[in-house]
Amino acid sequence: MYAVWKLCWTNLKNKKVQNSFIAIIIMLAALLLSTAVLVLNNTNRMYENMHAETRGAHQILRLENGIYDPNRVQQWWAGQEGVTVSEVMRYRYLSSMSHAGEEIPNVDLYMMDTPNGPFPVDRLLFAEGEETSSPEAGTAWIPTSLAYSNNIRVGDAIEFKTDEGSFRLHVAAVVVDISYCSPFATSGRIWLNHQDYNTNLSALPGDDKYMTGLRFDDYSQNRAYWERFEQFLGTPYLESVKDFESLSSYYMIANQVISFVMIFLAVVMIAVALYTLGFTISDAILSSYRTIGIIKSVGLSSRKVILAYVTQYTFLAFVAVIPGIVASYAFSAKIVAGSMAYLSTGSTDDNAAYSMLAIWLGAAVVAVIFLSALLFSYKARTVEPAQAVRYGMSEKEYSRRSGGSGRWKRKLLQLGTLPTSLIIGLRGVTKNVRGSLLIVLISALSTSVLVFGFLFVNSITSIHGTIAKWGYDSADLSVRIDNPAKLTFERLQEEVLSDPRVKNYSRYGDANAVLPLDQGSSAKGQADTMGVLLTVADGNYDDIGYENVEGRNPAGVREISIGVNVARTLGIQTGDSLDIYIEGEKHTLEVTGIYQAIANMAFTGRITADVIRSVNPDYGSTMNTTFINLNEGVSVDQFVSELHQRYGNVLWTASQATLVDEVFSQAFTIIVLPMSVMALLFIVITFVIIYSICRIHMKKESRTYGIYKSIGMTSRQIRLSETTGILFLSAIGALVGIPLGLLGLPPLLNLVLADYGIVEVPLIMNGGGIALMIPLSIAAACLGSWTASKSVQTTSPRLLTVD
């Protein structure tokens, strides 16, 4: 065993740089893999722990249309064993909130009449402020999603506008409201004192709406409860239900995307590391062929020679994995902290579960390296001592080299028109075929990752240009009448919408709907009904920029366009008809289009206002929001400023850019850091691997370099010649990597986001930015080659020739 360890230690000591770079590759692969798994694990764990701690709702029933008695519904659920039910909570909708004199755009607020705590379902955790049973008069509790994103602190004043005027409250607490404080969501619950609710909201026109939360001891059994519940009602449940999948989706989506990219890159990096390991071991065996033959001739068995190589690289893997796993703690913690910030109360430690998972991941990486080293080093069994001592290689390889094979290579190198430096560079390329193929592969992968990473990040930062493909409108601006008593729609139409600068407009509203799930064969195993949120347009959907992935937008009274997840659940295609209950009334509509949407996971639909007017002629009077497009060349910001000055608080106005930034600004923050780090890691990997390959090749060719120097070539010329060959290879790899990054990787991302309602991720091509990514992998490859050839500069021709 001493001989094995001595041989192993000699290999480690004599090839410090090469072994160090292999260790770096293994470390970075472990870092990415561990980070990805930790992000997924801790995102799920943090959300599930918080959901359990707060006894979060699995379903939230919203009774808004007066179809059922809220107390009767609540009492039925409260009588079911295995179900915990919240009180019936009154609320009203508001869509205007101001802080420090600035209105917060794009909010959808549930103004809650707060029952006395603690709540049996969806308990509130106090991140800031004193915990009390209910807010005091003149104060409110607000969710972390509104507070953190708008820098609202305890004690700040917030103002709400209603149809009758406005009222002001002070923030008494910032709370984690598990069901309504997720990233990217624009809705939130504002918890009011009972007297404040009665004073400011109950007196408003219209009826109170009601909400109750359900928590199941076993959520998988919820269908059985719903079957009995609908038997109790005597009809399908025709009000709105928000399910656990929808409640939790926004917490998971960003980290799902990041983890997908990390796992993909980690797998690629491990594959590259294993290929590099195989290349290195094979080359080590060939370069030490005579030494191995001598060792075997004095009695050391093939098994022990193999064991020396296996021990060497397993030891390297063990040493490299440890810092990779340790670094992944900080990296994953940074990602999780950013994406799950709205669940933070500042008093929890979320790192306790990392250690055991990290140990298993590290052990898995070491095991893979061990098995690979064992496989690749098996070639040492074929070393015959006599052939090794005589030829320094196998007799077959000696005959091949002596036989003058490779006619096409000689013809290539005999092209007299090529510069001498290029010929020498191409000679190195053709002589080291396996290494050259690996360089092409690494360059292709690096380029594809850089191109895809830039494409994805650029698409998120430039999402204004593709917002319609994410399921939103793409109108230039939105206006909302906040005080109908002072500004009617007819007056708005006369004074604003008839302005010659306005190109077109459409009024917007929404409605709750229920779909019976016996319409499609793919709905088996699910509940009998499905709630969807409908977008309702009094105007032309095409004018305000809504898009479909199939078919067209609805235009008639018997038409509907549905989200991709609705279509998939029901097994419906364009041209099919479906039965749908809208505000309790049954309609049979034709599906004219299918669209993707990130909002509500595409469990949504689009109809025209005429559909609801067919049973409710007064529906249009409640549509206070209007989308507006301006003529080309008209400044949106100037138009918005004019409306602010003219109408003040009576009319809320915001540009599309403002609304998009409000929703997606956090996505940019969460995604850009990990993607940037991963791009940097791949550049480092490219440099390290190509340095290692070139270092091995140049050491084998040291005698040739001595001859070059002895006939007058300078060290700089030799180094430039070798780098030119690598430039040629990396350029080929980059050309292969461009289509892979543009066309090969995006479909994988589509698979990840399909469940969230996005089946074709909207990507924005930026030729200039993509062109800037391509030279990065080439530059890393050339720098690796140039750095590896430094030994040529410091060694004399005589020593090189002797070597």
Condensed to tens digits (0 to 9), the pLDDT of residues 189-238 reads 999 999 999 988 887 777 889 999 999 999 888 888 888 888 898 877 87
**CA 22 to CA 5: how far, in whole Å?**
20
**pLDDT confidence of residue 327:** 85
* Angle subtended at Cα 605 by Cα 599 and Cα 607, rounded to the nearest 5 degrees: 135
Which residues in the chain come in under a pLDDT of 70?
1-15, 17, 185, 283-302, 346-355, 378-422, 425, 428, 518-528, 620-622, 662-663, 665-669, 794-803
Q: Strand, coil or helix: what is 113? A: strand
- The helix (H) or strand (E) run that includes residue 83 is strand 83-85
Query: What's the half-sphere exposure (Cβ side, CA atoms, 13 Å) at 665?
Result: 12
Which residues have CB under 8 Å from 570's CB, separation 6+? 515, 517, 519, 520, 522, 523, 578
DSSP E strand boundaries for 152-309: 157-162, 165-176, 187-192, 209-216, 240-243
- Type of residue at 564: V
Contact 443, 732 (CB under 8 A): yes
Kindly report the backbone phi and psi dihedral angles of residue 356, in degrees, each rounded to the nearest multiple of 5, phi listed first. -65, -40
* Angle subtended at Cα 725 by Cα 719 and Cα 727, rounded to the nearest 5 degrees: 100
Instruction: Please provide the size of the chain in residues.
Output: 803
**CA 204 to CA 198: how far, in whole Å?**
9
**CA 32 to CA 265: how far, in whole Å?**
7
CA distances from 728 to 91, 425, 428, 716, 753 (A): 68, 9, 11, 18, 38
**pLDDT confidence of residue 607:** 93
The two structure tokens encoding residue 157: 């004043």
**CA 744 to CA 746: how far, in whole Å?**
6
Comparing C-alpha atoms, which of 111, 226, 760 is closest to residue 531? 226
**CA 612 to CA 509: how far, in whole Å?**
11
What 8-state DSSP symbol labels residue 66?
Answer: S
Query: What's the half-sphere exposure (Cβ side, CA atoms, 13 Å) at 267?
Result: 6
* DSSP character string of 654-711: EEHHHHHHHHHHHHHHHHHHHHHHHHHHHHHHHHHHHHHHHHHHHHHTHHHHHHHHHT
Peptide bond into 118 cis (omega under 30): yes
User: Sign of the C-alpha dihedral, residues 79, 85, 87, 89?
Assistant: negative
CA distances from 304 to 6, 298, 299, 314, 381 (A): 11, 13, 10, 15, 10
The two structure tokens encoding residue 800: 């090189």
- The helix (H) or strand (E) run that includes residue 330 is helix 302-339
Kindly report the backbone phi and psi dihedral angles of residue 627, in degrees, each rounded to the nearest multiple of 5, phi listed first. -90, 135
* Angle subtended at Cα 605 by Cα 601 and Cα 610, rounded to the nearest 5 degrees: 160
**CA 45 to CA 353: how far, in whole Å?**
9
Q: Is 394 exposed, middle or buried (0-12, 13-18, 19+ CB in 10 A)?
A: middle
Kindly report the backbone phi and psi dihedral angles of residue 135, in degrees, each rounded to the nearest multiple of 5, phi listed first. -65, 145
Contact 620, 626 (CB under 8 A): no
Residue with tokens 């306790």, as numbered in its chain? 352
Q: What is the 3-state secondary structure (H, E, C) of 751-803?
A: HHHHHHCCCCCCCCCCHHHHHHHHHHHHHHHHHHHHHHCHHHHHCCHHHHHHC
Which residues have CB under 8 Å from 119's CB, separation 6+? 55, 86, 87
Q: Strand, coil or helix: what is 504? A: strand
Q: Strand, coil or helix: what is 270? A: helix
Which residues have CB under 8 Å from 291's CB, separation 6+? none
CB count within 10 Å of CB 632 equals 6
**CA 48 to CA 42: how far, in whole Å?**
9
**pLDDT confidence of residue 169:** 92
User: What does pTM read for this prediction?
Assistant: 0.75
* Angle subtended at Cα 606 by Cα 601 and Cα 610, rounded to the nearest 5 degrees: 155
